[in-house]
Structure 1
Amino acid sequence: MLCLVTFLSACGGGSETPTPALSVSIAAPAAANQVFSLNTPIAVSARVTVNGASAPDGTTVNFFASAGSFATASTLTHGGTASTTLTASTPGKQTFTATATFSGATGTSSQTVYVRQPPAPLEILVPAYFYPSTGGSDWDRMTASALAHPGLKVTAILNPANGIFNSTEPRYLLAAQDFVGAGGRLLGYVYTRYGTGARSVSDIKANIDRYLDLYGRSLISGIFLDEMAADPARIGFYREIYDHIQSRDPGLRILGNPGTVPAEGYAGVVDAVVTFEGTGAGYASYDPRQTADWLYSRPNSTQAMLAHNVMTCQAMQGIVATAATPLANAGMVYATDRVFDYATGTGNPWATLPSYWTRLLETVEAINQGQALPGCP
């Protein structure tokens, strides 16, 4: 009997061909490059190995996407790799898979990507928390810049008396008129104390009304709600404020500033949100994919960043270029070399325009136009 079994094995009889070890891995897009723009084809490739070696040419790989289409959903390997392109149909988080079968073995791999809406041009958002003094003030510089760059949106946050006043201040009124006349836009500053009740809704509404009644809708394009909460428990507080602003004029733009990414529900009570306020070094690690992928379903024009402690023109250009990437998905940007010291709580980064103000304008304009960045002094 032993001799018979040995003979059959040698001849191939009485045994089954072992199932090969098949492996599929996504080769592209790379994990570090997972954010793309809607309607832009994404190069996708899958690597297939059989028993540790490249799969034979002609091995079929099937691709499937949760929200999108592949140029070729079923393609063949060459040199162990199958390639196609994916076009996403909706913004947000997407998952696609690649599946291969060979000699009874099946392997599958998946990859997550994030797709943003086609971006709008960048806009400059200036926390203009400085007084419009006579004779060459920073308000004069902003007005001159708005005139010199008519194709660039420059929005300034008007902040007389920390947003609490009962009459117009002549210098602010004149500066506002000049700036808007030059093509700039103004948001009225109102602080909200994070919705804790330290400032009542009625007081906040009164501040909003002062801007509209005293400075007028012809000057005020919207309201900047500073010190906005980020946790979902406070959304109702801000919904009441939102409804009030809408009742005054549904065309007013409402920008909230929690200084960080808030709960998703805040997208329903403001038109845009400052998702980052901090140092330039801190912005280098900004990555909404990990905790707030819902931001990719929102237009970049609804997201703003404000960076301080950005000490050189070159650093500013790096920050603005980062803000414009699909990963950051910012639409409103600002950087300054003025400093805030977190250890001591001292410094006002918004007390003046940055020393590289003109280069900031030129940098944003160059990025919007797809041109080379201007040189730094």
Structure 2
Amino acid sequence: MHTMNTTNRLASLLALTAALAGCGGAADKTSTPAPSPTPAPAPAPVPTAPVSVGFVQPTSNVLEPNVSESLSVNVLVNGSQAPNGTVATFTVNPTSAAALAPVAPTTVGGVANSTLTVSSLPPTATFQVAATTTSSANTATDSLTYYVRPAHKPLQVLVPAYFSATGTTSPWVTLTSGATSYPDVKITAIANPSSGVLTADTKEDTDLTKAIKAFQAVSGTSNRVIGYVATTSISSGALSVADIKATITNYIRLYPGLFDGFFLDGMATDSSRVAHFQEVYTHVKGLTTGLTTGATPPAAPIVIGNPGTYPVAAYAGVADTLVTYAGNAAAYANIDPQPGNTWVYAKDNSAQAMLVHTASTCTDMQTAVKNANRPRMNTGVVYATNLAIGAPWSALPTYWQQMLGTVDALNKQRTLPLC
């Protein structure tokens, strides 16, 4: 009995072990593999600014006293057009410089509008206008600096008449006929006998005398003629004040009563020669005989200086008009008095002139003249020619009549003549 019971218990244990082993093997074959490590999260995108504001109008930041100017700002929220009714607040600094109406307009189509009215400010005054808008996330501001210039005066034409006066086909004849066609356009012609150096031995050019008289006699005009004066020499460099004064004296001796003033070519641009030209300017302004200005009593003779680019501001005090650009038409498109030469806004636009060559077509000429007439350029005395570097002033441009017509149309705010 004892042996049998032991045998039976052993058999039962072996059977149970086998059964358990079988169950364990089945479980291994159907088990789920262990999960892979969790990847690192992707970096969050950089969010766009919740709100932004930027001026889209005005087109110029040069204004005149007592004028009104439209202002517009574009407002974005989360990079998209702001909802209608978003407030943009405008401010002026200093507050006395101008008035705004409304001060806090709301957007329509993402744009908020106001009107700026300038106070009676002196020339060269500056002020700032800011626009601010706020969302629940942040505040954004944009600002403009304004410059105030004197009231705009009509455009004038300055002609480098460095051509012969001999014969019926002389450009002086064409110059005079143009003045007859456009009597409302003020023309100043620069006569250039003897290349601007007149000595005691220099003789009168009688053809030039006749041409000047014919030009000045055009009825209904205020045309002027000034004498070309060289202030430098290729051989000796800068001419002395005494040499310049001698040339001016000889102009008066040879052409008494014909000239309204003088054109000082080669004017310097740095401060080292300001005193030099101040002495010349004072001398010309002190002349009381031998010149004519077409007025009764005669006004002071005029001085036009030609540095050919923007000089230091002090030169504005030693000439009535400065040629602040002399060069080709293509380069003139990129000229800008801001930010380095904003002193030009202290003067009338008639205190700045441009002489542009290589304006190959009538359209190029009109582009250059319109550019000069912009408030930002503040240039009121103009000339353009299709002739190129080398001899750009040796004749009148082929579009002489159209240029006078363009100036006349701009002055009268009419449609420009067709080219």
Question: Shared topology, TM-score over 0.5?
Answer: yes
Given the alignment, which residue of 68, 72, 75 partners 2:101?
72
Report deviation, 1:365: 1.3
How much is the aligned-residue C-alpha RMSD, in angstroms? 2.7
Post-superposition, which runs of at least 4 consecutive aligned residues in structure 1 deviate over 4 A?
A: 21-24, 46-53, 79-82, 99-107
Report deviation, 1:353: 0.8
1:34-53 deviations in Å (ceiling 9; x for gaps) = 33444331112345667777
Secondary structure of the residue aligned to 2:116 is: strand
1:47-72 deviations in Å (ceiling 9; x for gaps) = 56677774884747241133621233
**8 A contact 2:65–2:148 mirrored in 1:** yes
Given the alignment, which residue of 159, 166, 180 partners 1:133?
166
Residues 1:24 and 1:350: Cα distance change in structure 2 (over 3 Å):
same
- Structure with bigger strand share is 1
Provide the rounded CA distance (Å) in 2 between the counterparts of 1:49 and 1:352.
Answer: 55
- How many matched pairs? 347
**8 A contact 2:57–2:73 mirrored in 1:** no
Which stretches in structure 1 are left out of the alignment for 5+ residues? Answer: 1-20, 341-346
AA aligned to 1:205 is K
1:260-295 deviations in Å (ceiling 9; x for gaps) = 011111111111100110001111111111321121
Match status 1:264 vs 2:297:
no
Given the alignment, which residue of 324, 347, 352 partners 2:395?
352
**8 A contact 2:55–2:72 mirrored in 1:** yes
Given the alignment, which residue of 164, 168, 183 partners 2:204?
168
**8 A contact 2:128–2:145 mirrored in 1:** yes
Given the alignment, which residue of 66, 69, 83 partners 1:39?
66
AA aligned to 2:177 is A
Secondary structure of the residue aligned to 1:151 is: coil
Secondary structure of the residue aligned to 2:414 is: coil
Q: Name 2:408's counterpart in structure 1.
A: 365
Provide the rounded CA distance (Å) in 2 between the counterparts of 1:104 and 1:236.
Answer: 59
Provide the rounded CA distance (Å) in 2 between the counterparts of 1:297 and 1:28.
Answer: 27
Matches within 5 A, 1:1-377: 23=51, 25-29=53-57, 33-46=60-73, 54=82, 57=85, 59=87, 61-66=89-94, 68-72=97-101, 74-79=103-108, 82-89=112-119, 90=121, 91-92=123-124, 93-99=126-132, 107-165=140-198, 166=200, 167-182=203-218, 183=221, 184-193=223-232, 198-216=238-256, 218-249=257-288, 251-340=300-389, 347-376=390-419
Higher mean C-alpha displacement, 98-107 vs 154-163: 98-107
**8 A contact 1:310–1:336 mirrored in 2:** yes
AA aligned to 1:279 is N
Q: Compute the TM-score of the two structures, normalised by the length of structure 2.
A: 0.75
Provide the rounded CA distance (Å) in 2 between the counterparts of 1:359 and 1:56.
Answer: 48
1:5-46 deviations in Å (ceiling 9; x for gaps) = xxxxxxxxxxxxxxxx8856343425x643344433111234
Report deviation, 1:155: 0.8
Secondary structure of the residue aligned to 1:366 is: helix
Higher mean C-alpha displacement, 103-112 vs 248-257: 103-112
Provide the rounded CA distance (Å) in 2 between the counterparts of 1:129 and 1:140.
Answer: 14
Provide the rounded CA distance (Å) in 2 between the counterparts of 1:310 and 1:209.
Answer: 36
Provide the rounded CA distance (Å) in 2 between the counterparts of 1:286 and 1:267.
Answer: 18
Report deviation, 1:141: 1.4
AA aligned to 1:363 is T
Q: Compute the TM-score of the two structures, normalised by the length of structure 1.
A: 0.83
Provide the rounded CA distance (Å) in 2 between the counterparts of 1:47 and 1:152.
Answer: 41
**8 A contact 1:70–1:84 mirrored in 2:** no
**8 A contact 2:55–2:71 mirrored in 1:** yes
Residues 1:366 and 1:46: Cα distance change in structure 2 (over 3 Å):
closer
**8 A contact 2:53–2:133 mirrored in 1:** no
AA aligned to 1:186 is V
**8 A contact 2:60–2:375 mirrored in 1:** no
AA aligned to 1:158 is A
Larger CA Rg, structure 1 vs 2: 2
Residues 1:350 and 1:48: Cα distance change in structure 2 (over 3 Å):
closer
